[in-house]
Structure 1
Amino acid sequence: MITVNRHILENGLRIVHSEDTTTQMVALNLLYDVGARDEHPEHTGFAHLFEHLMFGGSINIPDYDTPVQNAGGENNAWTNNDITNYYITLPCNNAEIGFWLESDRMLSLDFNEKSLEIQKNVVTEEFKQRNLNQPYGDVSHILREMAYKTHPYRWPTIGKEISHIMNATLEEVKDFFYSFYAPNNAILAVSGNITFEETKRLAAKWFGDIPARDIKPRELPQEEPQTEEHRVTVFRDVPVDTLYMAFHICGRRDSSYHTFDIMSDILCNGRSSRLIQRLVIEKKIFSSIDAYISGSIDSGLFHITGKPCDGISLEEAEKAVWEELEDLKNHPVEELELEKVKNRYESEQIFSNINYLNVATNLAFFELIGKAEDINDEVRKYRSVSSEQITEMARKCFIKTNSNILYYKKASDEIE
């Protein structure tokens, strides 16, 4: 059981805290409630660009990394379609440096053309390396456009196209910052060897004077239910053909989320899971296969992706997957198989939350989607998933009209 303390500053900054005296370190995780889903369709990639800009110098601190390194700390950040997340770990006697650094860049970045150009080039190179010049790099772009027609999940975090990033102006960047980077749009989670009283004192000292900003209510277009099968075939310079399947599922806050997560592990987590045991080891239809859920806050996707063995066509591979999905829909999961998946999840949760940084990261996210204390209820929610619920959700999800099927083929196949 993780003990959670909470406090809210007058400017709206939410603080969640958990003390851990078994470590000599402190973690600060600052989550901003902004991701790629908050971007304008013609100005995508901004949330990720900002992740980089936040390390380019703030109003009073020209260099973020040097004070961190001098204090014996480490830091990093990541962005997805829902949130932008920053974390820093420091020895407990240097914890205040983390509050100082994070508060200054929340107050204001050092906006200048030089820093913007540098980071635009960095992000553009990342776009090229990961999405344009890497095998299967454009899969996320293709699948999202297939599955989503109105919701902004239809583009990945990196953005729809490079031009959106390269054409970003300093004024547009400033507007994005002041629209989302504010104490009343952020959650500060602090864990490790620091008391709650000291956390409140340092938060008030460094964040208390930052003014709240006018955060517009999020009004995202809702995706209509998919009513027909979507199929796309592409030819690329890749080593092997690959099958991608995606089905619409609920969002992270929905009560069925844990059922879909358990279902993905039943299908594909470990050698004894169904798709690996039956389609990789026994039937040798796939050389590798995976099943996972997107975990997104709004309605997400259930992904199945696999590389067929030599001599197996994508059509044959897809047919084999559908047969397994039909089996899941028509035959209840036996208690022993279900219990094994639940046990694995519980052990992973226990080991994950031993680490003080993981605790800070998880507390911030649970506070965003509900309340931080819900972290203690996750194992129970997974434990409560029944075989009947799995059957019910599988029957709703794994149908042709809810499917998005991508055949990603070698360019040589097209020539033949």
Structure 2
Amino acid sequence: MITVNRHILKNGLRIVHSEDITTQMVALNVLYDVGARDEHPEHTGFAHLFEHLMFGGSINIPDYDTPVQNAGGENNAWTNNDITNYYITLPRNNAEIGFWLESDRMLSLDFNERSLEVQKNVVTEEFKQRNLNQPYGDVSHILRDMAYKTHPYRWPTIGKEISHITNATLEEVKDFFYRFYAPNNAILAVSGNISFDETIRLAEKWFGDIPARDIKPRNIPQEELQTEERRMTVYRDVPVDTLYMAFHICGRRDSGYHTFDLISDILCNGRSSRLIQRLVLEKKIFSSVDAYISGSLDSGLFHITGKPCDGISLEEAEKAVWEELENLKHCSVEETELEKVKNRYESEQIFSNINYLTVATNLAFFELIGKAEDINNEVQKYRSVSHEQIAKTAKECFINSNCNILYYKKASS
């Protein structure tokens, strides 16, 4: 059981805290409620660009990394379609440095053309390296564009195309910052060897005077129900053909989310899971296969991907996957099989939440989707999933009219 303390500053900044005296470190995790889904369709990649810009210098601190390193700390950040997340770890005696650094870049960045050009070049090179010049690098662009027709999940976090980043102006960047990077659109999670009273004192001192901003309500177009199968075949310079399948599922806050997560583990988590045991080890249809869910806040995707063995066509590979999905619908999952995946999840949660930084990150996320204390209820939510729920969910989800299928083929030389 993780003990959670909470406080809200007058400017709307939500603070969640959990003390851990077994470590000599402190973690600060700042979650901003902004991601790629908040971008304009013609100005994508901005949330990810800001992940980089936030390290480029703020109004009073020209260099973020040097004070962190001098204080014996580490920091990093990541962005997805839903959120932007920054974290910093420091020895407990230097914890105030974290509050100072994070508050100053929340107050205002040092907006200038030089910094913007530097970070635009960095992001552009990342786009080229990961998505244009790497085998299978454009899969996310293709699959998202197939699966989503109206929702902004139709582009990945990196952006829809490079020109959206290279053409970004300083005024557009400033506008994006002041619309989303505000105390009343953020959650500060603090964990490690620091008391709740000290956390509140430092938060009030460093964040208390940052003005709240006018955060407009989201107006995201909801994706319409997919009613027919969508297929595409592409040819690329890749080593082997690969099968990609994506089914629409519920969002992260939905009660059915935990069922989908368990199904992905039943299908493909460990050597004894169904797809690996039957399609890789026994039938040797795939050399590798995977199944996972996107975990998106809005309606997400259930992914199945695999590389067929030599001599196996993508059509044969796809047929084998459908057969396994039909088995899941009509043959009850054995008690030992279901208990195994539940036990695996519980053990992973116990071990991950031993780490003070993981606790801070998780507390911020659970506060976003509900309340931080819900972190203590997750295992029970997985435990409560029944065989009947799994079969019912599989029957509703794994149908042709809900499926997007991509054949990613090796181009002929």
TM range (shorter): over 0.9
Give the distance between the partners of 1:218 and 1:3, measured in 2 at CA. Answer: 32
| 2:380 alignment partner in structure 1 | 380
1:102 counterpart = 2:129: no
TM-score normalized by the length of structure 2: 1.00
| 2:243 alignment partner in structure 1 | 243
Deviation per CA, 1:163-189: give whole Å up to 9, x if none.
Answer: 000000000000000000000000000
Indicate the SS of the match to 1:226: coil
| 2:192 alignment partner in structure 1 | 192
* RMSD after superposition: 0.4
Give the distance between the partners of 1:379 and 1:215, measured in 2 at CA. Answer: 34
Give the distance between the partners of 2:355 and 2:362, measured in 1 at CA. Answer: 11
Give the distance between the partners of 1:78 and 1:192, measured in 2 at CA. Answer: 21
Give the distance between the partners of 1:205 and 1:218, measured in 2 at CA. Answer: 31
1:195 Cα deviation from its structure 2 partner: 0.1
Give the distance between the partners of 1:396 and 1:153, measured in 2 at CA. Answer: 22
Q: Report the AA paired with residue 42 of structure 1.
A: E
1:19 Cα deviation from its structure 2 partner: 0.1
Aligned residues: 413
Give the distance between the partners of 1:396 and 1:23, measured in 2 at CA. Answer: 46
| 1:145 alignment partner in structure 2 | 145
Q: Report the AA paired with residue 45 of structure 2.
A: G
1:394 counterpart = 2:407: no
| 2:332 alignment partner in structure 1 | 332
Indicate the SS of the match to 1:341: helix
Mapping of residues 201-212 of structure 1, within 5 Å: 201-212=201-212
Give the distance between the partners of 1:278 and 1:173, measured in 2 at CA. Answer: 50
Give the distance between the partners of 1:51 and 1:347, measured in 2 at CA. Answer: 32
Q: Report the AA paired with residue 285 of structure 2.
A: I
1:3 counterpart = 2:7: no
| 2:358 alignment partner in structure 1 | 358
Give the distance between the partners of 2:225 and 2:23, measured in 1 at CA. Answer: 48
Deviation per CA, 1:211-245: give whole Å up to 9, x if none.
Answer: 00000001100000100000000000000000000
Percent of matched pairs sharing the same residue: 90
Indicate the SS of the match to 2:323: helix
Indicate the SS of the match to 1:290: strand
Give the distance between the partners of 1:327 and 1:275, measured in 2 at CA. Answer: 11
| 2:293 alignment partner in structure 1 | 293
Give the distance between the partners of 1:299 and 1:331, measured in 2 at CA. Answer: 27
Q: Report the AA paired with residue 404 of structure 1.
A: N
| 2:273 alignment partner in structure 1 | 273
Moved beyond 4 Å, runs of 4+: none
TM-score normalized by the length of structure 1: 0.99
Deviation per CA, 1:4-42: give whole Å up to 9, x if none.
Answer: 000000000000000000000000000000000000000
1:382 Cα deviation from its structure 2 partner: 0.3
Give the distance between the partners of 2:222 and 2:351, measured in 1 at CA. Answer: 37
1:105 Cα deviation from its structure 2 partner: 0.2
Give the distance between the partners of 1:330 and 1:403, measured in 2 at CA. Answer: 19
| 1:256 alignment partner in structure 2 | 256
Give the distance between the partners of 2:172 and 2:243, measured in 1 at CA. Answer: 39
Give the distance between the partners of 1:374 and 1:225, measured in 2 at CA. Answer: 30
Q: Report the AA paired with residue 89 of structure 2.
A: T
1:332 Cα deviation from its structure 2 partner: 1.1
Deviation per CA, 1:271-310: give whole Å up to 9, x if none.
Answer: 0000000000000000000000000000000000000000
1:82 Cα deviation from its structure 2 partner: 0.1
Give the distance between the partners of 1:354 and 1:152, measured in 2 at CA. Answer: 35
Give the distance between the partners of 1:393 and 1:218, measured in 2 at CA. Answer: 29
Indicate the SS of the match to 1:28: strand
| 2:127 alignment partner in structure 1 | 127
